[in-house]
A and B are shown apart, each in its own frame.
Chain A
Amino acid sequence: MRWIQLTCLLLTFIISGTAWAENKRLVIGISQYPGSLHPAYDSMMAKSYILGMTRRPISVYDANWEDVCLLCTELPDFDKGTAKYVVTESGKEGIAVTYSLDPKAVWGDGTPITTRDVMFTWEVGANPESGIDNFEFYRRIEKIEVIDDKTFTLVMNRRSCDYQGIPGFTLLPSHVDRPYSDDPREYQNRTLYEKDPTNPALWYGPYRVSNVQNGQSITLVRNERWWGKKPWFDEIEIRAIENTAALTANLLSGDIDMIAGESGLTTDQALAFERRHGDDFQFIYKQGLVYEHIDLMLENPILADVRVRRALLQGIDRDAISQQLFAGKQPVAHGSVNPLDSVYNPDAPRYDFDPEAASRLLEEAGWTLASDGVRRNAEGEKLQLELMTTAGNKTRELVEQVLQSQWKKIGVDVRIRNEPARVFFGETVSKRKFTGMAMFAWFSSPKHIPLTTLKSDQIPNEENNWAGQNYTGYAKPEMDQLIEDMDLKCEADQNQAAWDRMQELYATDLPVLPLYYRANPYILPKDLKGLVPTGHQYPSTLWVENWHRAP
């Protein structure tokens, strides 16, 4: 009898093992289809997600939010002499950083990845006519000194503490794409990434693109020339299904195996799905760098008073919002720097829910409660503010209603006026036409210096053609200096001191009401292992070779 049981157990093990062994194809559902697969154009998360499996940036932030080499052998370091301050040929105080590419690194057709590709990438990137997204990064590179086939030194024309990582430097294959770059204006249209995206010579990750069904799906197969750990899956298909109800239906019907956290459902949608189908999948909620907040128009006389701004923050129960609407998966934000970021200052002031303190602050500011429940000042003007956000974003609309009702309890009359995202961002926010409060999110990267959002010369106006993102109109010399220090004072203590003070000032002056950090919900098959979400703009697919199925 015992041997029968043992045989059954062995058979079960063999059958299930065979099933896993056979199922080496993974179909991932995402809610966006990338317009182009060229790494330097039209940055969007869906594209980063796919390129994470087919390319390897020189350096990125890892899941611990630390700079790491992916294509380089080690990060530049002052002690090792691979980073040093220099005066550039144009006489600017700059920095020279030396990188060595992985000696085994080759393109998908076997051609070694060399400094020729580095030079070609720079040529394309530094040409304003080529239309590369982050041209400003390339413009900072004054010179590239080629040391040998694998080693090069970037001479940057500006000193900056983020010298270690160059994630924006996205290598292009000189040996196949150079002929298309003769006319920089036409390069974007003629590049092989558009004309022949399945060409193996374009890819250098664990996978390469093998099939593109435009607008539908992209299929990846193992890159035979990949020099790193062999990936477990033979084939990965990324299928774009923009409608999230259809996306979950596809998951339930087995048409897709998982929904990517980086470009899939919102947290509330995932929570609702988990309530119904929690036993069938594994769910991971990774809090990230998407920072939901309310920009305050500081030119509004009501909001110009910092006591009113603090009262507004103390009058809302963000913990309850996080718990009730997001089951605690989207934690309360107390500032613009995420607690997972190494530069986070835990001692910066924070404002917990305290409606009584909020009422006291409003009284101090001259707003007294009238019989109709709305506060008025000495002139009899109502404490009335307008709150705006993107129409159709159900989560934000729900949060808006909660905030409105909580502010009503402390005597603040908040009127909601929402607009389509196109109008809201394209006109109202970017041209500072909101009169009171504007709720939206900022995407950032670890150690992201808030230069464009808090520096006084970044306030959009007609004279500067509405450039900059300091929509609140916040202007403080100390903050300007701190931002410069964060960028230029690279000694660890001095740098952290600047970050600490910046966060204190941000929390004290409150030009913005912090709400919560969004989370990325991953819905995965129960047997998928090795996927580690990052929470920032460098997707989990950059480590796809660690993904596998296991019982």
Chain B
Amino acid sequence: MAAFLARRLAQSGLILFIVIFLTYWLMGLMPGDPIDLMVQSNPDLTPADAARLKALYGLDQPIITRFWNWLTQALQGDFGYSRLFGQPVWEVLWPRLVNTLILMLPVVLLSIVIAVPLGLLAARKAYGWFDYTVNLASFAGISVPPFWFAILMIIGFAVTLNWLPASAAPPGDAGLMDHLRHLILPVATLTILNVGTYLRFMRAASLQTLRQDYVRTALAKGVSETRLLTHHVLRNALLPLVTIIALSFGSLFSGTLIIETIFAWPGMGKTIYDSVLGNDYNLAMVGFLLATATTLLGNILADLCYGLLDPRIELEEVKLGG
């Protein structure tokens, strides 16, 4: 177990380094920089000003030099300042990370709570009206463009019915209930968009499990429907779902750009996007570092969960297999 973990952590470290380097390099390949864009919008900025600002922010240095400087500082725990926000990177990212968790954690939990029982039931009642309804809803959730659906939710619940606020951000002096009220629409929107994927995986895995001999045997032995689904099918059907949840673990920390933009919720997705476009390397790198590290961590946790859910899977086998 310890050897497995050490190996996985070493592999993850290597992947992390490669991802970070590639990200830095790709950002460096983008033409232009924020100072070029600033020149377009500030009539008082002279070419000399632009050249001086580029030198000051190191934008005139070769990409490898900039990466090396960043890496050596980061390894010493100095992630620097955000160029866009003028604050230490962690001071910018921390509240946004919290915001992202506030938004994404209920979404993932709600998605699981909804997807697991519905997926199980849909599989049990496969090709019946219930299954078709659940499938239709799942496909709708998966296929609908998030941007369009979010706007539709705002128009429906905030503009027409006036039940809920249109944005996720409450006024500065808002209390807890007001905060929660503002979160209902984005959480509901994301959950509806998210649940379909989980549901499809849960249904497919349950359907496969229901065809197993041991399920037939259990039924022949007179096991009740509830016990069959919860004790015999659920545990075996959870494996693929664990993989999907592990893969989406990163999104808990990296956020969701479109929903954050539409509901004016400053989370990690929007911050990473802005930092890439604004050539804010310090901010973008730490954002990517977090998103990649948490995704890798999610995968390690998933490997551990496989062993827990199915004792037949040994971690060494996972290593050999994967």
Residues of A within 8 A of B (CB): 27, 33, 35-36, 38, 41-45, 128-129, 131, 133-137, 168, 188-189, 191, 193-194, 210-211, 213-217, 219, 237, 239-243, 245-246, 249-250, 252-255, 421-423, 425-427, 430, 440-445, 448, 452, 458, 464-465, 467-469, 537
Contacts of B57 in A (CB 8 A): 131
> Which of B44, B171, B265 is close to A137, meaning CB atoms less than 8 Å apart?
B44
Is B263's CB within 8 Å of the partner chain A? yes
- Quick check: A219 and B172 within 8 Å, CB to CB? yes
Give 1 or 0 for each of B135-175: 1 = CB within 8 Å of chain A CB: 00000000000000011001100110010011101011100
Contacts of A211 in B (CB 8 A): 172-173
- Quick check: A422 and B32 within 8 Å, CB to CB? yes
Interchain CA distance A335-B151 in the complex, whole Å = 40
Least CB distance from B56 to A in Å reads 5
- Quick check: B53 and A133 within 8 Å, CB to CB? yes
> Which of A135, A214, A250 is close to B92, meaning CB atoms less than 8 Å apart?
A214
Given known A215-B270, A422-B31, A426-B32, contact A467–B38 (CB-CB < 8 A):
no
- Quick check: B84 and A35 within 8 Å, CB to CB? yes
Interchain CA distance A134-B53 in the complex, whole Å = 10
Residue pairs across A and B with Cβ atoms less than 8 A apart, 12 shown, are: A42-B38, A45-B41, A134-B45, A216-B169, A241-B167, A241-B264, A246-B166, A249-B155, A253-B166, A421-B37, A427-B31, A427-B32
- Quick check: B172 and A189 within 8 Å, CB to CB? no
- Quick check: B154 and A423 within 8 Å, CB to CB? no
Contacts of B56 in A (CB 8 A): 128-129, 131
- Quick check: B277 and A242 within 8 Å, CB to CB? no
Interchain CA distance A27-B32 in the complex, whole Å = 35
- Quick check: B51 and A253 within 8 Å, CB to CB? no
Least CB distance from B165 to A in Å reads 5
Is B208's CB within 8 Å of the partner chain A? no
Chain B residues 1 to 60 lying within 8 A of chain A, measured CB to CB, are 30-33, 36-53, 56-57
Given known A189-B86, A426-B33, contact A440–B40 (CB-CB < 8 A):
yes
- Quick check: B158 and A253 within 8 Å, CB to CB? yes
Interchain CA distance A239-B174 in the complex, whole Å = 14
B50, B263, B277 — which one has the most chain A CB atoms within 10 A of its CB? B50
Which residue of A is nearest B158, CB measured?
A253
Chain B residues 90 to 139 lying within 8 A of chain A, measured CB to CB, are 92, 95-96
Contacts of B264 in A (CB 8 A): 216, 239-243, 246, 250
Which residue of B is nearest A289, CB measured?
B43
Contacts of B265 in A (CB 8 A): 216
Given known A43-B41, A249-B155, contact A254–B162 (CB-CB < 8 A):
yes
Interchain CA distance A440-B277 in the complex, whole Å = 19
- Quick check: A217 and B263 within 8 Å, CB to CB? no
> Which of B48, B154, B263 is close to A467, meaning CB atoms less than 8 Å apart?
B48
Is B206's CB within 8 Å of the partner chain A? no
Least CB distance from B62 to A in Å reads 15
Interchain CA distance A313-B37 in the complex, whole Å = 28
Least CB distance from B288 to A in Å reads 18
Which residue of B is nearest A460, CB measured?
B47
Least CB distance from B235 to A in Å reads 42
Which residue of B is nearest A44, CB measured?
B41
